[in-house]
Structure 1
Amino acid sequence: MNTPTNVNAQAADKRGPKLSSLFRLQWEPAQDAHVLLYPEGMVKLNQSAAQILLRCDGTRDLPTLIAELEQTFNAKGLAPEVEAFVDHARSRGWLE
């Protein structure tokens, strides 16, 4: 017997992480940093977090995002840290 599949869930799995529509990521000169703005306030991001979130636009899956970061910053072995941050961002509701 075939189990019905959720087409939306399958599509979400193929997309990469995407910033939640409840948040806006922008450079804030007064903070000299990227920030996440949301109705209740603001989250100041460190450079690593900002670089990850800037790439979370739903067009890259996580392995592609990690490979891009490793190439951009000439670094290897970023996967565990990037995956941990993406999990944290999802738990905070920053990512869909």
Structure 2
Amino acid sequence: MTAPAAWRPVLAPAVRLRHDRVREVDLLVLPERVVVLRGTAGAVLRLCDGDRDLGTIVAELAERFPGAPVDTEVPAFLDRMHEEGWLR
């Protein structure tokens, strides 16, 4: 899927985003496994609330991380999360 700008991503019902304070990492908690997120992945996924569309998410991240290639990397990352079934 190539994410349309109007897509309003949200975590799938069985997926939870948690922060492990001991290891200082963000985690995706799934029914039968845990995925450790690296870098800013947790910050990106926290914006996926079903209210913000993809364009808004990219704009917010571009403001937070000036100079980062969020306009290409964020849609590609969210596409992968969708393909895994972790986002709707």
TM over 0.5: yes
* Structure 1 stretches lacking a partner, 5+ long: 1-12
The CA deviation at 1:38 is: 1.2
Q: 1:21 aligns with which of 13, 33, 39?
A: 13
Q: Counterparts of 2:57 and 2:23 in 1: how far apart (Å)?
A: 26
Cα distance in structure 2, aligned partners of 1:61 and 1:54? 13
Based on CA coordinates, which of the two structures has the bigger radius of gyration? 1
Normalised by the length of structure 2, the TM-score is: 0.85
Give the letter aligned to residue 22 of structure 2. A
Matched AA of 1:32? E
TM-score by length of 1: 0.79
1:30 aligns with 2:30: no
The verdict on how the C-alpha distance between 1:59 and 1:41 changes in structure 2, with shifts beyond 3 A counting, is same
Identify the structure with the greater helix proportion: 1
Aligned residues: 84
TM-align CA RMSD: 1.7
Residues 17 and 60 in structure 1, CA contact (< 8 A), matched pair in contact too: yes
Q: Which one of 66, 82, 96 corresponds to residue 74 of structure 2?
A: 82
In 1, the alpha carbon distance for the partners of 2:66 and 2:6 equals 26
4+ residue stretches of structure 1 with deviation over 3 A? none
